[in-house]
Amino acid sequence: MAAILKNKKLIIVLLVLIIGAFVAWRFLKPSSEPEGLASGNGRLEATETAVSTKVQGKLVQVLFREGADLEEGQVAALLDDAQIKADIQAAEAAVIQAKEAAAVARENVKSMQSQQELAAVTLRRTEALIKKGFISAAALDKDISTMRTANANLASARNRVLEADATVQEKIARVASLKSNLDDLTLKAPVNGRILYRLAEPGEVLSPGGKVFSILDMNDVYMYVYLSSADAGNVTIGSEARILLDALPDTPLPCSVVYVSPRNQFTPKEVETKDEREKFMFRVKLKVDPEWIKAHGAIAKPGMPGTGWVKTKADADWPSNLQVKQ
């Protein structure tokens, strides 16, 4: 019996020692974060945009599928252009007609100007003859009326030239507008991006603003992390940062801090924090260097989870596992 009690005491003592050692290790162990750095978990994201149409039209070609990488300005889809090409031909013919009408109006001005000059010469001769008493005043009244009519006809002809020129410009603008719409039938990527969804197929008629692709802007790849008040207060815009993706633990992504929330908020449930007792955190945006993404976009994909690291001390050094490899 005494031996049993002695063994129980020994077991209790051992348990106390084990628990004490664990507590000491738990609270006295050095921080896993290097001094001058703070971290938070997140997920790599990219700004989402679209390849869409400005005009209504029938989709005739869709050149890519999900996952394809597009370069800014690259042709991604085509709309039917038969109708608009016919409209352009008609508009160009209307321009030619308007220019011919303007030329006729100018010739008419020359004719009216000649008549006005003749009426002016006749009036001066009549006035001279009246002074000499060779003709009656009735002839003067007739020539004055003829002069006024010639002036009015010339002014009217000049106004018709202005109207004809305005019509020409209107028809030219119509052609330019149609040609612009023709260019809009060729749908191009607005940014360097990766296709997330293919939203339309050949044969569909799209309204203005209709989307063909949803794409991720690979010039704007980032991660949001959530930091405590103490850490966020020491983070500045433009500070160096790093991202370690779970799938690429040996490839740190070079980043910079581009946003720090001006107010704290509840930490989202899907974001893990090193201290679950902290309910309010500050959101910090880390943007990946676009040149790095351009060179390594095939391996670093939006949606990958990882850890973002930021400097809370400007003179802090990156540990070896966070140093960007050339």
pLDDT tens digit at each of 326 positions of the chain: 555 545 556 566 565 556 555 444 343 434 456 788 999 999 999 999 999 998 889 999 999 999 898 999 999 999 999 988 999 999 999 999 999 999 988 888 888 888 888 888 888 887 777 777 777 677 777 878 888 888 888 888 889 889 999 999 999 999 998 888 888 899 999 998 899 999 999 999 999 999 999 999 988 999 999 988 888 888 889 988 999 999 998 899 999 999 998 877 665 555 544 454 456 788 999 999 988 888 887 888 888 999 999 988 888 888 888 888 76
Which single residue is written with the structure tokens 């509840």? 266
Q: How many CA atoms lie within 13 A of 214 on its CB side?
A: 6
Name the CA dihedral angle for 191, 194, 196, 202, rounded to a multiple of 10 degrees: 80
Residue 137: inside a domain: yes
Q: Tell me, what's the pLDDT at 310? A: 93
Six token digits for residue 313:
């001390």
Same domain, 124 and 145: yes
* Within a domain: 170: yes
Of 137, 167, 184, the one marking the end of a domain is 184
> Number of folded domains in the chain?
2
Which H helix or E strand runs over 324? Answer: none
Q: Which amino acid is at 190?
A: P
Of the candidates 144, 171, 159, 176, the residue with the CA atom closest to the CA atom of residue 109: 159
43 lies in some domain: no
Q: Are 119 and 167 in the same domain? A: yes
108 occurs within a structural domain: yes
pLDDT tens by residue, 259-302: 998 877 665 555 544 454 456 788 999 999 988 888 887 888 88
* CB burial readout 71-108, b (16+ within 10 A) else e: eeeeebbbbbbeebeebbeebeebbeebbebbeebeeb
Domain assignment present for residue 130? The answer is: yes
Claim to verify: residue 72 and residue 192 sit in the same structural domain: yes
Measured between alpha carbons, how far is 202 from 196 in angstroms, rounded to an integer?
A: 18
Which pair of tokens denotes residue 326?
């050339």
Using the 3D structure, point to which of 184, 201, 222 is the last residue of a domain.
184
Q: What is the domain range of residue 165?
A: 82-184
Q: How far apart are CA 280 and CA 163, in angstroms?
A: 70
pTM confidence score: 0.61
Kindly state whether residues 131 and 92 are assigned to the same domain: yes
CATH number, residue 207: 2.40.50.100
Structural domain includes residue 14: no
Same domain membership, residue 160 and residue 136 = yes
Q: Which residues contact 241 (CB under 8 A, 6 or more apart)?
A: 255, 256, 257, 286, 308, 309, 310, 311
Do 171 and 103 fall within a single domain? yes
Q: What is the pLDDT of residue 211?
A: 94
Do residues 109 and 128 share a domain? yes
Q: CA nearest 282: which of 242, 222, 221, 231?
A: 231
CB count, 10 Å around CB of 235?
19
- Regarding whether 71 and 145 lie in a shared domain, the answer is no
**Domain presence at residue 234:** no
Task: Give the Cα separation of 310 and 203 in Å (integer).
Answer: 50
* Distances 148 to 111, 116, 117, 121, 123 between C-alpha atoms, Å: 16, 9, 12, 13, 11
Q: Which own/partner contact pairs does 103-111 have at CB distance under 8 Å and 24+ positions apart? A: 104/164, 105/157, 105/160, 105/161, 105/163, 105/164, 106/161, 108/157, 108/160, 109/154, 109/157, 109/158, 109/160, 109/161, 111/157
- Are 155 and 199 part of one and the same domain? no
Number of other residues whose CB lies within 10 A of the CB of residue 109: 19
CATH number of domain containing 153? 1.10.287.620
Please state whether 238 falls in left (phi above 0), alpha (psi between -120 and 50) or beta.
left
Same domain? For 97 and 163 the reply is yes
Cα–Cα distances in Å, from 65 out to 194, 201, 214, 297? 10, 10, 11, 17
Is 166 in the same domain as 191? no
- Domain contains 171: yes
Contact 238, 291 (CB under 8 A): no
Whether 175 and 111 map to the same domain: the answer is yes
Of the candidates 279, 286, 276, 275, which has an alpha carbon nearest to the alpha carbon of residue 264?
Answer: 279
